Structure 1
Amino acid sequence: MKTIITFGTFDVFHIGHLRILERARLLGEQLVVGVSSDSLNIKKKGRAPIYSQDDRMGIVSGLKCVDAVFLEESLEKKAQYIRRFSADILVMGDDWAGKFDGFASLCEVIYFPRTPSISTTSIIEVAKRYK
């Protein structure tokens, strides 16, 4: 069985999130998703997510293309997560292109193009204007 792994915050879930997860699932028989913890998100992006880690994990785990979800607590543990789930392929958005190539000794690394003209950050900025 070919296992695919990916990681993300998945805050303010949108069609771009869904598309990358659906495309990732097509590469194998099992898709495992690491959802960034609230504290990791603050460390990465300098702000708390809109939705809690429990809510974000619930949203992602409810998708039919996702087979398993876990809490990603540290960027430095990506290799451990890849090994834990015996991942054959790591999929990330192409905004991360080249940043995960170091994991190529553990699994194949694939970068998918992002959905044009959509991002969580831009959605949050638009929502702030309508407060």
Structure 2
Amino acid sequence: MKMKPYKIGYTTGVFDLFHVGHLNILKRAKEQCDYLIVGVSTDELVMEYKSKKPVIPQQERVEIVNSIKYVDLVVHQTNRNKFFAWEELKFDVLFVGDDWKGDSLFVEMEKKFNHVGVEIIYFPYTSGVSSTGLKEKIRYKKSVV
């Protein structure tokens, strides 16, 4: 069995209307680490920064993510501060979609994580697939019918 570059990995998301893009990031993350922790955003956190409630309730999103074979542990993400999560979970690497690269939140995280030896790996965003896009398709189909 090939050695993986990291022991403990961490990634987060809303995981609303779970789709292949979500699966891709979890699979790619698990390929890089022995143990993958996934933070699922709480409904309150999503309301706070997206100003909308997820379609799928938090507990159901947690159950869905927890059933994915690449995931070893699911935790509730109650805030967007990944360094706060690191202080509790002590992961070696943070996996993020590359749509966040250059975002002020992650520029700051890169600096903080650099001091404690945690790497951030940006995975390519799965183009053409998003929960927002799925919601729009559903809305369109409902309006046509």
TM-score, scaled to structure 1: 0.93
The structure that is helix-richer by fraction is 2
Q: Which residue in the other structure is 2:70 paired with?
A: 65
Q: Post-superposition shift, 1:75?
A: 1.3
CA offsets 1:23-65 (integer angstroms, 9 cap, x no match): 0011110000000000111112110000011000000000000
- 2:129 corresponding residue in structure 1: 118
**CA offsets 1:93-127 (integer angstroms, 9 cap, x no match):** 00111324233333101110011111111111111
More displaced, 7-16 or 101-110? 101-110
Q: Which consecutive unaligned segments of at least 5 residues does structure 2 have?
A: 1-5
Q: How many corresponding residue pairs?
A: 130
Q: Which residue of 2 aligns with 1:80?
A: 84
**Paired residue secondary structure (2:33):** coil
The runs of 5 or more residues in structure 1 that have no matched partner are none
Deviation at 1:80, TM superposition (A): 2.1
Aligned equivalents of 1:26 and 1:14: distance in 2? 19
Residue 109 of structure 2 is aligned to residue 104 of structure 1: no
Query: For the aligned residues, what is the CA RMSD?
Result: 1.3
What amino acid is the match of 1:116? S
Please give the alpha-carbon distance, in whole angstroms, between the structure 2 residues aligned to 1:81 and 1:88.
12
Tell me the TM-score normalized by structure 2.
Answer: 0.85
Partners of 2:46 and 2:66 in 1: CA distance = 19
Partner deviation per Cα, 1:69-90 (whole Å, 9 max, x = no partner): 01001113x2121122210000
Runs of 4+ in structure 1 over 3 Å off: none
Partners in 1 of 2:134 and 2:17 — Cα distance? 8
